[in-house]
Amino acid sequence: MYDVCIVGAGMWGSTAARHASQLAGLKVCVVGPEEPTKEEFADREVFGAHYDAGRIYSTVHGSNHVGRIRGLVSQRSVERYPELEELSGVKFYKEVGFIFFGGVDAFYDTLDSFSEGVSLETAASVRSRYPYIDTGKDGPTAILSKRSAGYLDARKYVQAQLLVARRQGCDVMNDVVVHVAQVNQSGSMLVETDSGRHITARKVLLCTGAFTPFMDLLPADRKLDVTVTSDVTVRFELDEECVRRLQDMPCLTSEFSEPSPRECYILPPITYPDGKVYVKIGHGRYVDTTLHTHEEVRRWYIDEADPKTIDTLKDIFHSVVQGVKPLSEVYYTCADLDTATELPYCDMVSPSLGVLVGGNSQGATMAEEMGRMGADMITGETNWNRDIPKEVFKARYINA
Q: What distance in Å separates the CA atoms of residue 268 and residue 254, rounded to the nearest whole number?
A: 15
Which pLDDT belongs to residue 400? 54
Examine the pLDDT at 75 and tell me if it is beyond 80. yes
Q: Which residues contact 24 (CB under 8 A, 6 or more apart)?
A: none
- pLDDT band at 42, cuts 50/70/90? confident
CA angle 260, 362, 86 (to 5 degrees): 145
Classified as helix, coil or strand, 262 is coil
Fold exhibited by the domain 96-151+227-338: D-Amino Acid Oxidase; Chain A, domain 2 (3.30.9)
Examine the pLDDT at 107 and tell me if it is beyond 70. no
Using left for φ > 0, alpha for ψ between -120 and 50, and beta otherwise, residue 196 falls in: left
Per-residue pLDDT tens over the stretch 322-380: 999 999 999 999 999 999 999 999 999 999 999 999 999 999 999 999 999 999 999 99
Percent of the chain with pLDDT over 70: 97
Checking 282-285 for CB contacts under 8 A at 24+ apart, the result is 282/231, 282/232, 282/233, 282/234, 282/313, 283/231, 283/232, 283/309, 283/312, 283/313, 284/254, 284/255, 284/259, 284/260, 285/229, 285/259, 285/361
- pLDDT band at 109, cuts 50/70/90? low
- pLDDT band at 112, cuts 50/70/90? low
Which pLDDT belongs to residue 63? 73
Question: Chain-wide mean pLDDT for the chain?
Answer: 94
Per-residue pLDDT tens over the stretch 199-213: 999 999 999 999 999
Given a contact cutoff of 8 angstroms between Cβ atoms, the answer to whether 198 and 37 are in contact is no
Which pLDDT belongs to residue 399? 73
Least confident of 104-113, 209-218, 228-237: 104-113
Which pLDDT belongs to residue 115? 58
Which pLDDT belongs to residue 321? 98
- pLDDT band at 103, cuts 50/70/90? confident
Q: What distance in Å separates the CA atoms of residue 359 and residue 62, rounded to the nearest whole number?
A: 16
Residue 205 has phi, psi (to 5 degrees) of -115, 120
Given a contact cutoff of 8 angstroms between Cβ atoms, the answer to whether 317 and 234 are in contact is yes
Average pLDDT over residues 94-104: 91
Which pLDDT belongs to residue 285? 80
Parallel, antiparallel, or unpaired for β 171-173 and 118-122? unpaired
**CA–CA distance from 127 to each of 73, 99, 122, 130, 142 (Å)?**
31, 12, 9, 5, 11
Classified as helix, coil or strand, 137 is helix
Which pLDDT belongs to residue 104? 76
Per-residue pLDDT tens over the stretch 247-296: 999 999 998 877 788 999 999 999 999 999 999 999 988 778 899 999 99
Examine the pLDDT at 76 and tell me if it is beyond 90. yes
Given a contact cutoff of 8 angstroms between Cβ atoms, the answer to whether 33 and 44 are in contact is yes
What would the DSSP string read from start to end of 350-368? ETTEEEEE--TT-HHHHHH
Per-residue pLDDT tens over the stretch 155-186: 999 999 999 999 999 999 999 999 999 987 77
User: CB neighbours (10 Å) of residue 253?
Assistant: 22
User: CB neighbours (10 Å) of residue 79?
Assistant: 14
Higher pLDDT, 111 or 93: 93
Q: What distance in Å separates the CA atoms of residue 25 and residue 44, rounded to the nearest whole number?
A: 36
Q: What distance in Å separates the CA atoms of residue 368 and residue 87, rounded to the nearest whole number?
A: 14
Q: Which residues contact 93 (CB under 8 A, 6 or more apart)?
A: 57, 81, 85, 150, 151, 152, 153, 157
Examine the pLDDT at 12 and tell me if it is beyond 60. yes
Domain ranges of the chain: 2-50+155-222+340-393, 96-151+227-338
Per-residue pLDDT tens over the stretch 117-145: 788 899 999 999 999 999 999 999 999 99
- pTM of the entire predicted model: 0.95
Which pLDDT belongs to residue 237? 99
Which pLDDT belongs to residue 155? 97
Q: What distance in Å separates the CA atoms of residue 392 and residue 395, rounded to the nearest whole number?
A: 9
Residue (of 348, 358, 357) closest to 380 by Cα position = 348
Which pLDDT belongs to residue 14? 99
CATH superfamily for 2-50+155-222+340-393 is FAD/NAD(P)-binding domain (3.50.50.60)
Same fold, 2-50+155-222+340-393 and 96-151+227-338: no
- pLDDT band at 38, cuts 50/70/90? confident
Q: What distance in Å separates the CA atoms of residue 217 and residue 179, rounded to the nearest whole number?
A: 5
